[in-house]
Each structure stands twice: as C-alpha cells, then as structure tokens.
Amino acid sequence: MAITKFIPKVWSAALLKALHNQLVYAQPGVINRDYEGEIARAGDTVHITSFVDPAVRAYTRNGTITWDLLTDTQQSLVIDQQNYFAFKVDDIDKRQAIDGFVEETTTGASYNLSAEADEYVATTIAAGVDAGNALGAVTVATPSDAYDLLVEFRTKLVRSNTPAAGRYAGVSPEFYGLLLRDDRFIRLDASGTTDGLRNGVVGRAAGFDILEANTVPEAAGVQTIIAGHSIATTYAQQILNTEALRLETTFGDGIRGLHVFGAKVIRPKNLTSALVTIS
C-alpha cells in the first residue's frame, strides 16, 4: 500500500464528522436521528411504528366504560440515496506534492457530499409540510413583511401543538438581509452567547432560531421558506466504505468513499412553509 498513513476506520470517522459540521437542514435540531439504527447497505428500511391515542369519554358513576382497541400505524424511512467520491493520486504527484494534500482533497469530497445531502433533506422537508400548514405564495418586500411571515409561521405551529423550545426557520441570504433591517430581530452577535447554537444559526425572531442557508429550495425565483421542529423530520446516514487501493492501469492509488442516506417527514403538522418571492 503506497499511502502508508491511510487508516480506514480513522478516515471514515473524520469524514462523518466533517459532514455533520457542514450541514444546515440535515443537522440535529432541524431533523432527528431517532430511527437511524444500524445501516448495513443502501436500500435498508427503518420501520417507524406509532399508536393511535385512546379516546377520552365522560364517566357516569356506577356506569359501564368503553374499552378502546389500540391500533398502530407504520411509516418507513428508506435509505435510498447513494453518493460517492473517487479520485486517484498519481505516484509522480504524490512524490512531488506537499504532505496532507490527500487529506485536504478528502475534506473537499466531504463538503460536496454534505451539500448534496443538505439539498435532499431541504427538498424532502419542503415536500412534506402538511397542506393545512402551508401558507402558499407570499411576496416579501420589506423587513416588516419578513418578520410578519415568521409570526404567521408561529401561529401555525402553536395551533399544531409544536413544542415551543427548539423551533427553527430556514431562510435564504436575501430573506435574512431583510430581517437584519427589523429591530425585532435579535442578531447572533447581539444575543450575548454562542453556546449550543446550530450550524447556520444567525439569530432569533418570533420564537425561532433563524438558520441562513444556501440550500433553501428555490425554483424560478420563488423560495420555499420552511419553519418547524426537529420532531417533524427524521434522517439517517452512513459512510458505508472508505478505502484506498492500488490502481491496476496506472502508477497510482485510488481513494473512494460511499455515503448512503435517507430522510422522511413523519409529523407533517409540525412544519409550516411559504412560497416566497423577495421583491
């Protein structure tokens, strides 16, 4: 093996850590990983079971009671997304290059994997919002418009019994730029602390942690601004394999890695969204 410092277990762990550091939508606090379990291969399915709540009825003294038969429902989180990276290192390049360039290249691959996963999760969340919680098309032209939309999001989530602690809103740089002009927005640099903040968090407004992201779903200039809670969406991922091998058709080594993942909205009513045009 020409790459003497390559240790598969160490590299796999480092790659996963880099993914976590760079994600916005696919990070704890926006999604949950309660059902991740052990992913053995692409295409694995995680079965999520829930029970229907028993009914509550009025009781009459000495009367008879009605027994409910518990029923369950099941959803499936399918690990059906697969991305990989693969690059080769020529012996001449390896001989002449400075130390660490292979690790640096792998970090770049990690960034690209994270961007793909983040876009997938953002799209999945946007598509999974309950129809009754979607506000439809909205034009946002002023700082007040931006803040007022967050207030409408808050109302939707309160009505759907979404926990108050841990709510987030994923916004685009343009939307965030408008919020910066509203005095009611609390900037991160004015909050007095940076402890426990999630990736991309830039401040708070209307009870939401505001996350700025370039992966806000957008089509034809219309941005899908999403707000919600991590209980709504579950995500699972795994770096299945990271390996170095000697290439047969050239003088060099190959390095490759495979990332599998999947996401599912399991509580649609704990999300809300709007199709926003920034005017």
Burial class of residue 212 in the structure, from the number of CB atoms within 10 Å of its CB (0-12 exposed, 13-18 middle, 19+ buried):
buried
Residue 243 lies in a domain: yes
* Domain count along the chain: 1
pLDDT of residue 147: 96
Residues in the chain where the model's pLDDT stays below 50: 1, 195-196
pLDDT of residue 53: 83
Cα 53 off chain centre by: 29
pLDDT of residue 10: 65
Nearest to 117 by CA among 255, 235, 276, 207: 235
Residue 57 lies in a domain: no
φ/ψ of 27, rounded to 5, equals: -125, 155
120/114 Cα distance (integer angstroms)? 10
Residue 66 lies in a domain: no
pLDDT of residue 174: 95
pLDDT of residue 49: 83
pLDDT of residue 5: 60
pLDDT digits (tens, 9 = 90+) for 171-187: 999 999 999 999 889 87
On whether the CB atoms of residues 208 and 150 are closer than 8 A, the answer is yes
For residue 130, the domain's CATH number is 3.90.1690.10
Residue 1 lies in a domain: no
Identify the domain containing residue 144 by its residue range: 8-52+72-278
On whether the CB atoms of residues 79 and 43 are closer than 8 A, the answer is yes
pLDDT of residue 42: 62
What one-letter code names the amino acid at 1?
M
pLDDT of residue 115: 85
pLDDT of residue 98: 58
DSSP line for 146-205: HHHHHHHHHHHHHHTT--STT-EEEE-HHHHHHHTT-TT-EEGGGSS--TTPPTTEEEEE
Strands 252-265 and 81-90: antiparallel
Residue 62 lies in a domain: no
Cα 230 off chain centre by: 9
pLDDT of residue 269: 96
Residue 59 lies in a domain: no
pLDDT digits (tens, 9 = 90+) for 61-108: 999 999 998 888 888 898 899 999 898 888 876 666 556 667 777 778
Residue 61 lies in a domain: no
